[in-house]
C-alpha cells in the first residue's frame, strides 16, 4: 500500500495505547498524528490534525463525565468530513458490536486477536470495506446461530399449532 494513512489512537489504558502506537509505527504506510487517553483529548486532536482513521476503545472516559466513547463516536461519524473509525475493544456482546456497525464504524478488532488484525482493519477501512476481526466475527456468528435456532423453534411451534388446529 503506497497511500500514507494518518491515524489517531485513543485508549484510556496507557499500556494498550503505547503498544498500539508501537505496532502502527512499524507499518511504513501508517503515520500516527496523535494519541488520546479520553474522548475530550480525542476531540481536541481531531480539531487540530487531519486524520484518515481513528482507532478507539469504547470503554474509556467520555466528554462531560460520560463513561464510554460511543456517544462521541456517534457524533463523529455523523459529521463531515469524517475519518473512518476502527474500534479496538474487549467487548463481545453482539448487540454492542452490531450497534457499532449500525453507527458506521468501519472495523471492530477484539484486543484478543492478533496484532496484524488491527492493521488489516485500518487498511480495510481506508479501502471502504467493513472489517471484523476473528473474535468479533465469532461473537456475531454465535448470535446468528442462536437466532437461527430460535427461528427454527418458532417455526416448529407454528407448525405444531397448525397441526393441532387442523385436527380439531
What domains can be seen in the chain, in order of their start residue?
5-167 (3.40.50.2300)
pLDDT > 70 fraction of the chain, expressed in percent and rounded: 80
The pLDDT of residue 100 is 87
Q: How far apart are the first and last CA of the chain?
A: 69
Q: What is the pLDDT of residues 112-155, one digit of tens each?
A: 999 999 999 999 999 999 999 999 998 888 754 444 444 455 55
For residue 16, what pLDDT band results from cuts at 50, 70 and 90? Answer: very high
Could you tell me the three cell numbers for 18? 503505547
Taking Cα atoms as reference points, which of 6, 55, 14, 58 lies closest to residue 32? 6
Q: Are the C-beta atoms of residues 55 and 22 closer than 8 Å to each other?
A: no
What pTM was computed for the model?
0.79
Q: What is the pLDDT of residues 45-74, one digit of tens each?
A: 988 999 999 999 988 877 665 666 777 777
Amino acid at each position: 500500500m503506497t497511500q500514507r494513512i494518518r491515524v489517531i489512537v485513543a485508549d484510556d489504558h496507557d499500556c494498550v495505547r503505547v503498544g498500539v502506537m508501537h505496532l502502527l509505527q512499524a507499518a511504513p504506510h501508517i503515520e500516527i498524528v496523535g494519541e488520546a487517553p479520553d474522548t475530550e483529548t480525542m476531540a481536541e486532536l481531531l480539531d487540530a490534525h487531519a486524520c484518515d482513521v481513528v482507532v478507539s476503545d469504547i470503554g474509556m472516559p467520555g466528554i462531560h463525565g460520560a463513561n464510554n466513547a460511543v456517544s462521541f463516536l456517534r457524533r463523529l461519524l455523523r459529521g463531515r468530513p469524517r475519518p473512518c473509525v476502527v474500534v479496538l475493544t474487549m467487548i463481545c456482546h453482539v448487540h454492542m458490536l452490531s450497534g457499532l456497525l449500525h453507527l458506521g464504524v468501519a472495523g471492530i478488532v477484539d484486543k484478543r486477536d492478533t496484532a496484524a488484525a488491527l492493521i488489516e482493519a485500518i487498511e480495510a477501512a481506508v479501502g471502504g470495506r467493513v472489517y471484523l476481526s476473528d473474535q468479533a466475527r465469532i461473537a456475531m456468528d454465535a448470535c446468528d446461530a442462536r437466532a437461527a435456532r430460535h427461528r427454527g423453534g418458532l417455526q416448529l411451534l407454528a407448525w405444531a399449532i397448525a397441526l393441532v388446529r387442523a385436527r380439531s
